[in-house]
Structure 1
Amino acid sequence: MGFVPFTFIDFIDIILVAAIMYWIYRATKGTNAPYIITGIIIIYLLWVVVKTLNMELLSTILGQFISVGVIALIIVFQPELRRFLQMIGMRQKGFNFITRIFGTGNDAAATNITPIVTACREMSETKTGALIVIGQQSDLRLITEGGIALDARISTPLLKNIFFKNAPLHDGAVVIEGDRIVAAKCILPVTQSDVPKSYGTRHRAALGMSEISDSIILVVSEETGGISVAQGGHIHRDVDPVHLQQTLQRYLNINGRKRSSKKEVEE
Structure 2
Amino acid sequence: MLRAAVLVLLLANAGYYAWAQGLLRSWGWAPPEQSEPQRLEQQIQPENLRVGRANGGSNNGNNAAPGNASAGDAPAAPATPPAPASASAPAANTSEAAPAVAVAAAEPAPCLQAGTFEKGQLDALRAATASLPAGSWTLEPISLTGRWMVYMGRFTDEDTLEKKRAELRARKVPYDRPGAALEPGLSLGRFSTEEAAERALATLGTQGVRTARVVQERTDATGYVLRLPAATAALRTQVEGQLRGLLASRAFRACG
Determine which structure has greater relative contact order: mean sequence separation of CA pairs < 8 Å that are 6+ residues apart, divided by chain length.
2
Max Rg structure: 2
Higher fraction of helix? 1
TM-score higher than 0.5: no
Relative to the length of structure 1, the TM-score reads 0.18
